[in-house]
Amino acid sequence: MISKKRHINLKLFSIIILFIFTAKFSYSQNTFELTKVEFFGNSSFSSSTLADVIVSKESPGWISQFINSFTSFGKGASYFDSLNIRFDLLSLNEFYVSNGYFNSKFFAEYSADTAKKNISLKFYIEENQRALINKLNIFGLEVVPQLLNQSLFKSLTIDTTQYYSENNVKQNIDRIVVTLQNNGYMQARFDSTIIYRDTVKHNANVNIYFSVGASYQISSVLIEKSGEGADKVDEQMLREIVGFEENETYNLEKIRQSQVRLYRTGLFTSVILSPKLADTLQGKVPLIMTGLIGKMNELSPEIIMNNEQGTFNLGLGTNYIRKNFLGAARKLTSGGSFGIQDFFRIDFSNLSRKFSLQDTTLMGYWEGRIKIEEPYVFNQPIFGIFETYINVEKNNIGSIRRIGGKLSFEFELPSHTFVNYLSTYYNLEAVDFTLRFTEGAAKLRLNSTLSVLGADIRSLKTDSPLFPTRGYNLFLNLEEANLIPYLINRLSNKIIGSPAFYRALITFTNYHSLSQARNAIFAFKIKTGYTQSYVGSDLDIPSNRKFFAGGSTSVRGWQPRQLTRVQVVSAGQVPQDLIQSLSANAFVLGGGTFLLEGSMEYRYRFKNDFGTALFVDWGNVWSGYKDLRFNEVAVATGFGFRYYTSFAPFRIDFGFKTFDPENRIPFFKRKFFDIMEFHFGIGEAF
């Protein structure tokens, strides 16, 4: 009876699926599906780029159509409409003209297969010669002071050696308007552009017209505050945070920076800083800050998800926040958290039985932290952070306890400069490290003290932090450790117990759009790091200042930190010379002092919220750059899926060990689950 019922349910399910598929496509029996769109003669632009320009769209494959027939995923069939050809030709002509091809010609034809009810559409393109810019004339800047005028013309990226490009002209127009608004011309705007095309000489004269208006100064800063905590926040303090002085030149970029600074205080539920145009008088304009101020005390539980150290970490925490702590818009935060690292690799079935500090399959941490943030340090727009912490971390080779303090200063820099982010810090930290071995109960307990001076320097030039489609990012981290204790000990004729070393890490990422819609992106990353001791041995350098590879943001065919120089030995086989080679205050084994890795990734975003990726990762770590061997570079290839939210993309990646320097068995002769690694991450891999 049970088997008969199961057979009926299976038959009913098959009928439903067949009905959905038939109903989806029955209406199109008398229409022709557009199965192929081709371009011929397009040497300057790819067919995929031109396909984004036209109205007619080629039908996706049958798998995509089938999935779309009963879900919101995939894409439905595209059907031929001869009326669209006229719009397609106009779109192609407009696209080519905007890129300097003024004499281009276009022709379209289609052929139908009446038996299969499909149509193939072909576009023939005669691009002809591309036009150069002959003259560039800019009108309306005559009233601007000479120095500013010269600066505007020097910033132009248009000259008579370049081909005409509408996009390049627009970028230069935007740059001029922003520069004017940052130098007092609050009402500066672009009026019009007139292009004179010479189709015989193949060149273009570009005339650009601006309306500059008057130059303005800030007369005052007006404060309008409301909300529960409004009466607890001093207006003069808010004016100091805004940072504009009386008669200072109007600057749009500085206004935006001031608004960000106001948000970072945590005082406001919402805040807007803008000029009060109705009160402009004789070149003076007041700024008005309108803000809704919330409670001064908050207790907030939180769910923690991140990708620190190349693993997906999940945890819980709680924070108490006291806003406007001792005045000056300081924010006090105290709290604690605990979490599990590499969450998806936990053996939950044995968790309760195996849970102990000796269990190498469960990695996690807990920490307590007190932090004070101040938005305006030394009467300058410098964001200061002082924090103290205690942290206990358990990983697969041991456990680490850190107690320390850190003082940081983040400097505000203009967005248009090459370096537009700078943070300096001093970190004093005491570390206790216990190394476990895989067999028996042998342990090695070591400790160290770190005194670190560091700087984090960035050049952020992408169009979006969540899904960059063009531009680049450059990150440089520089650190020096234990110089201060070393100098103190030398002056007192003592021998330094901890290693003194320096560390540098540089990462460069670049992004290129492959389509007009900016949903197909090619991205690449190259990353290198080096650390070296100048007092003591490289073996004494702590693991959190060494380099590891592998994980969801590194070489994705390997587990987090799996590509490392750590050698795991069993109890009873601990070499005495290894222990003797460590100073009394050293606390780590393993990790590399030289890192080299990179990635190439193709990203495709569809339906706005979903995406896919294909990637190639490579890299490894070595004990110094002289030990670099290219036949030891690990290579991983793979694919992934993305879900984009308003605050960060969530991703799943499947990486495969394409070349494993530790295992020379050919790729196709190895077991599938021996070469595949799964990673869950938040944010793009780079």
Q: What is the pLDDT of residue 377?
A: 87
Cite the beta strand spans of 607-669 per DSSP E. Answer: 610-622, 634-644, 649-659
Average pLDDT of the segment spanning 616-641: 92
Q: How many angstroms separate the CA atoms of 557 and 571, rounded?
A: 30
For 628, the token pair is 């670099």
Mean confidence (pLDDT) of the chain: 84
Q: How many angstroms separate the CA atoms of 595 and 624, rounded?
A: 9
- Where is pLDDT greater, at 466 or 268? 268
Residues 240 and 357 in one domain: no
Q: How many angstroms separate the CA atoms of 338 and 317, rounded?
A: 6
Residues 149 and 194 in one domain: yes
How many other CB atoms are found less than 10 A from the CB of residue 297? 11
CATH at residue 238:
3.10.20.310
Residues 309 and 319 in one domain: yes
Q: Which of 297-311, 456-470, 512-526 has the lowest mean pLDDT?
A: 297-311
- Where is pLDDT greater, at 187 or 580? 187
Q: What is the pLDDT of residue 306?
A: 67
Which residue among 269, 293, 317 closes a domain? 293
pLDDT tens digits, residue range 281-337?
889 999 999 999 999 999 988 887 766 666 677 888 999 999 999 988 999 999 999
Residues 252 and 289 in one domain: yes
Residues 435 and 572 in one domain: yes
Neighbouring residues of 294: CB distance < 8 A, sequence distance ≥ 6: 227, 228, 229, 267, 268, 269, 323
Domain extent at residue 4: 1-30
Helix (H, G, I), strand (E, B) or coil at 262: helix
Residues 463 and 607 in one domain: yes
Average pLDDT of the segment spanning 427-435: 81
Helix axes 166-181, 146-154, angle to 10 degrees: 150
Q: Which of 89-93, 198-202, 344-348, 532-536 has the lowest mean pLDDT?
A: 344-348
Residues 289 and 324 in one domain: no
Q: What is the pLDDT of residue 6?
A: 43
Which residue among 189, 211, 233 closes a domain? 211
CATH at residue 585:
2.40.160.50
343-348-351 Cα angle (round to 5)? 105
pTM for this one?
0.76
Residues 12 and 44 in one domain: no
148 pLDDT band, cuts 50/70/90, is very high
Helix (H, G, I), strand (E, B) or coil at 571: coil
- Where is pLDDT greater, at 128 or 346? 128
Q: How many angstroms separate the CA atoms of 211 and 635, rounded?
A: 56
Q: Which of 207-221, 293-307, 447-461, 647-661 has the lowest mean pLDDT?
A: 293-307
Length of the chain, in residues: 686
Residues 301 and 282 in one domain: no
Please report where in the chains the tokens 């700024």 appear, as a residue. Answer: 287
Residues 478 and 375 in one domain: yes
Which residue among 226, 261, 293 closes a domain? 293
Q: What is the pLDDT of residue 536?
A: 79
| Number of domains, the chain | 5
- Where is pLDDT greater, at 304 or 642? 642
Average pLDDT of the segment spanning 444-472: 87
- What is the DSSP annotation of 108-174? EEEEEETTTTEEEEEEEEE--PPPEEEEEEEES-TTS-HHHHHHHHHT----TTSBP-HHHHHHHHH
Q: What is the pLDDT of residue 441?
A: 46
Q: What is the pLDDT of residue 14?
A: 56
Residues 387 and 302 in one domain: yes
Residues 314 and 460 in one domain: yes
Contact 217/186 with Cβ under 8 angstroms?
no
